[in-house]
Chains A and B, each alone.
Chain A
Amino acid sequence: MKSSVLISHFKLSLDIIYNTRWRNFWTILGIVIGLSSVIMIIAIGDGIKQQVNYQLNDSSSHNKFVIQPKSINQPDSKSNFVTNLENISPSGSLNYLDVAGLNSFKGVSNVAPYSILRTKIIGTVSSYKSGVVVGTNQYLNNYLSLSVNAGSFIDQPGNPINSAVIGQNLAEKLFGEITPLGATVNINGSPFIVEGVLNPVTNIPFSQLVDFNNSVFIDYDAAQNISSNNAFVYQIFMTINTNKNSVVKSLQSHLDEINGNQSNTLITTLSGISYNSKRTLDLLTRLISFVAAISLLVGGVGIMNVMLVSIAERTHEIGIRKAIGATNRQIIFQFLVESAILSFVGGIIGIVLSYLIDLFIILSTSVKPIITWQLVVFASLISIIIGLIFGSIPAIKAAKKLPIDSLRSS
């Protein structure tokens, strides 16, 4: 087709689009909603996935191991590391183990107990009846990605036994400031000195994980002391650098012996645990893909509906155009141009809207949606293709009819 004809078609299309603003408004709205819902759902899914992944990957390393009660990590168990600690019954705890003694076991080093105590915490500004207290030692940092914003982590050389490190949120709530170094926090009646404050930890959205931002970390022995040995040990982290298999084997039989030859505990690598969690992650990925596919369908149907509503009206118009000599190809082309313009405008608005919603979600929740350019291109292509297909359906349908049959519909 000559370029002048192309331009004519384009100009007339603009004219026509302008003169049917109301109908086009709905068409564009359909595209905008379809497109931005697809982008947002995929972006939110990706964001959650990446946040979960980040937390797990950080601690997966080959020479890091963990002991935990079998009941919480049987190979097929659905519960896994940290996701639902709070639901585990105390009977599953590892309290009977001599945590300090493990350190002298041959080949084992950097043993870090992970125990949780729920008790009264009193600061200067406010207090908690049942705050989360994590009893552990300086090695915990090797296994969980915690970093200190101000001061130092617990149990550093020179620190008193009653030193505490607190999460940033809790610091603010208890003391009204982010770095209350040197302040005294009263835990279950005993005074502890704040030696450090954690950097904010990215939480897994919607999970029931212990929120480190709202926890106090103290020495494991101190935790047992102030609670008459009631701090429940959920996991014991440790490092085994050489002869991993034989060390794990002998440690396992040692544990079973202590336990009256019942194998109630399980030793796995941290990455082994992560492997377990990855299955959850994969499930999440599949769920997200499924939801995205549905939203794509819903978006597509939305665009389709708006386009189909105007078919009768458009069919009459096509009849007129054919009566004055338009060929089928010319009519289909014109409709393609028109729906391309509408889809394009709708696409742009949809993308802008997605970014606005993204911003809103980031500002108001802990979810951080990830909008990649690939996602934007993919979603836009889909919505434009749907727009084009359904925008030109009346033309394609009418192309098969005699002009008089199109003229009769109105």
Chain B
Amino acid sequence: MSLIKLEGISKIFGFGDASSLALDSISLNIDKGEFVAVMGPSGSGKSTLMNIIGLLDKPSQGSYMLDNKYVARLKPNQAAKIRRDTIGFVFQSYNLLNRLNIINNVSLPLVYKGVSSSRRLKLATEILDRVGISEKEYFYPNQLSGGQLQSAAIARALINNPKLIIADEPTGNLDSVSSMLIMELLTEIHRAGNTIIFVTHNPELTRYASRVVYMKDGSIVQDEVTPYGQIAKTAKLLLRPSLMKSDEDNLAGVSVLMKTIDRIDKTSKTKKQKKSSRRKK
């Protein structure tokens, strides 16, 4: 049963000559319980898509059904309630409030739900324990490491027990060990029954996903199901120059990604053409 159903979603930024098409008529179904990785080069529209799925942004066109409700054109307050109750959003840059300590940050969504302060404290303590930073409850964000901050941000996303967790490059600012810890945390959450979508540039992390969606120029160019614990096939192509170490090597990696996706792109286009030609017949 699909939790997310996107049909013909487009997003245009700017007006007139300065406008750019960030999402080009995207259709995508995600079922309950999936663990989806989204990959693609910079500027391909991954974040734009996540923001629309997370109701932080509105599509210029298309329909979006979340949990059997049409949500693309909601009033601000209705959208806020869905963000609060159904969606947990994790940002690359954590987006915690520096002026509040960790436990207040984590329990903030509950404030907006009207939960009493003692219950808030109890729930936040539980969830911080679950993400493994219970000893940092009364620290302020500037006193924590990146990994700990992201754990706190995940705890905040989890506190309302949302059906969907969206994480836009959750490990983008973290070293490899912290990245693994965060991904394992997400895996655990996934096992507990949540649907998770995450964006990553790191092919290694597709090991955690059950499905990988590849984007380019605002379109989805490849969509593959992948077994747990293994790097997705397409993503594996990116790892071929396997001794990536320096920045230059990283750049090389990116260009390989571009080429790979270009190739996929062409093949998918030819498929489409075949389909349409078939239809004509």
- Of A126-134, A241-249, A314-322, A388-396, the one touching chain B: A314-322
- Of A144-152, A194-202, A326-334, A345-353, the one touching chain B: A326-334
Complex contacts, A302 vs chain B, CB 8 Å: none
Q: How far is the CB of A294 from chain B (nearest CB, A)?
A: 36
**Contact in complex: A403, B104 (CB < 8 Å):** no
Complex contacts, B51 vs chain A, CB 8 Å: 404
Is A312 interfacial (CB 8 A cutoff)?
no
Is B116 interfacial (CB 8 A cutoff)?
yes
> A9's closest neighbor in chain B, by CB?
B111
Is B216 interfacial (CB 8 A cutoff)?
no
**Contact in complex: A330, B112 (CB < 8 Å):** yes
**Contact in complex: A324, B77 (CB < 8 Å):** no
Segment 142-159 of B: residues with Cβ below 8 Å from A: 156-157
Segment 35-92 of B: residues with Cβ below 8 Å from A: 51, 54-58, 76-77, 80-81, 83-85, 89
Is A16 interfacial (CB 8 A cutoff)?
yes
- Of B2-10, B93-101, B243-251, the one touching chain A: B93-101
**Contact in complex: B100, A325 (CB < 8 Å):** no
Per-position 1/0 for B111-125, Cβ under 8 A of A: 111101100100000
Check A323/B104 contact, CB under 8 A, given A328-B77, A330-B112: no
Q: How far is the CB of A403 from chain B (nearest CB, A)?
A: 4
Is B160 interfacial (CB 8 A cutoff)?
yes
Cα distance A230–B73 when bound, in Å?
96
Complex contacts, A8 vs chain B, CB 8 Å: 111, 117, 120
Check A327/B81 contact, CB under 8 A, given A4-B117, A320-B97: yes
Complex contacts, A403 vs chain B, CB 8 Å: 55-57, 83
Cα distance A404–B83 when bound, in Å?
13
Cα distance A12–B100 when bound, in Å?
8
Complex contacts, B55 vs chain A, CB 8 Å: 403
Q: How far is the CB of B251 from chain A (nearest CB, A)?
A: 27
Complex contacts, A328 vs chain B, CB 8 Å: 76-77, 80
Q: A11 touches which one: B57, B114, B116, B117 (CB < 8 A)?
A: B117
Number of interface residues of A (CB under 8 A): 31
Cα distance A19–B101 when bound, in Å?
10
Complex contacts, A363 vs chain B, CB 8 Å: none
Complex contacts, A407 vs chain B, CB 8 Å: 56, 95
Is B109 interfacial (CB 8 A cutoff)?
yes
Check A4/B77 contact, CB under 8 A, given A321-B108, A324-B108: no
**Contact in complex: B117, A324 (CB < 8 Å):** no
Q: How far is the CB of A230 from chain B (nearest CB, A)?
A: 79
Size category of the binding interface on chain B: 35 or more
Cα distance A129–B42 when bound, in Å?
93
Per-position 1/0 for B160-202, Cβ under 8 A of A: 1000000000000000000000000000000000000000000
**Contact in complex: A324, B156 (CB < 8 Å):** yes
Cα distance A325–B83 when bound, in Å?
5
**Contact in complex: B76, A16 (CB < 8 Å):** no
**Contact in complex: B81, A16 (CB < 8 Å):** no
Tally of A-B Cβ pairs under 8 angstroms? 88
**Contact in complex: B76, A323 (CB < 8 Å):** no
Is A104 interfacial (CB 8 A cutoff)?
no
**Contact in complex: B114, A19 (CB < 8 Å):** no
**Contact in complex: B95, A19 (CB < 8 Å):** no
**Contact in complex: B114, A325 (CB < 8 Å):** no
Q: How far is the CB of B234 from chain A (nearest CB, A)?
A: 29
Most chain B CB inside 10 Å of its own CB: which residue of A9, A319, A322: A322
Cα distance A327–B80 when bound, in Å?
5
Cα distance A5–B112 when bound, in Å?
8
**Contact in complex: B100, A16 (CB < 8 Å):** yes
Is A15 interfacial (CB 8 A cutoff)?
yes
Q: How far is the CB of B228 from chain A (nearest CB, A)?
A: 30
Cα distance A139–B100 when bound, in Å?
78
Most chain B CB inside 10 Å of its own CB: which residue of A15, A322, A324, A403: A324
**Contact in complex: A2, B97 (CB < 8 Å):** no
Segment 204-239 of A: residues with Cβ below 8 Å from B: none
> A7's closest neighbor in chain B, by CB?
B117
**Contact in complex: B57, A324 (CB < 8 Å):** no
**Contact in complex: A325, B117 (CB < 8 Å):** no
**Contact in complex: A329, B114 (CB < 8 Å):** no
Per-position 1/0 for A382-403, Cβ under 8 A of B: 0000000000000000010011
Q: How far is the CB of B152 from chain A (nearest CB, A)?
A: 12
Cα distance A402–B109 when bound, in Å?
18
Q: How far is the CB of A73 from chain B (nearest CB, A)?
A: 68
Complex contacts, A320 vs chain B, CB 8 Å: 95-97
Cα distance A403–B77 when bound, in Å?
11
Complex contacts, B95 vs chain A, CB 8 Å: 319-320, 323, 407
Q: B84 touches which one: A1, A5, A325 (CB < 8 A)?
A: A325
Check A324/B100 contact, CB under 8 A, given A4-B114, A4-B117: no
Cα distance A5–B55 when bound, in Å?
25
Q: How far is the CB of B51 from chain A (nearest CB, A)?
A: 5
**Contact in complex: A327, B100 (CB < 8 Å):** no
**Contact in complex: A325, B97 (CB < 8 Å):** no
Complex contacts, B120 vs chain A, CB 8 Å: 8
Q: How far is the CB of B25 from chain A (nearest CB, A)?
A: 20
Complex contacts, A12 vs chain B, CB 8 Å: 100, 104, 111
Is A20 interfacial (CB 8 A cutoff)?
yes
Cα distance A404–B168 when bound, in Å?
13
Cα distance A16–B77 when bound, in Å?
24
**Contact in complex: A325, B81 (CB < 8 Å):** yes
Could you list some 15 contacts between A and B, CB below 8 A? Answer: A4-B114, A5-B114, A8-B117, A11-B117, A15-B104, A319-B95, A323-B54, A323-B89, A325-B84, A325-B85, A325-B113, A326-B80, A327-B76, A329-B77, A403-B55
Chain B residues with a Cβ under 8 A of chain A: 51, 54-58, 76-77, 80-81, 83-85, 89, 95-101, 104, 108-109, 111-114, 116-117, 120, 140, 156-157, 160
The 10 A-B pairs at the shortest CB distance, nearest first, are namely A325-B84, A19-B99, A404-B56, A327-B80, A404-B57, A403-B56, A325-B83, A324-B109, A327-B77, A326-B112
- Kindly list 9 other residue pairs between chains A and B, CB separation below 8 angstroms, not including A9-B111, A320-B96, A324-B108: A4-B114, A7-B117, A16-B100, A19-B98, A320-B97, A323-B89, A324-B89, A325-B84, A325-B109
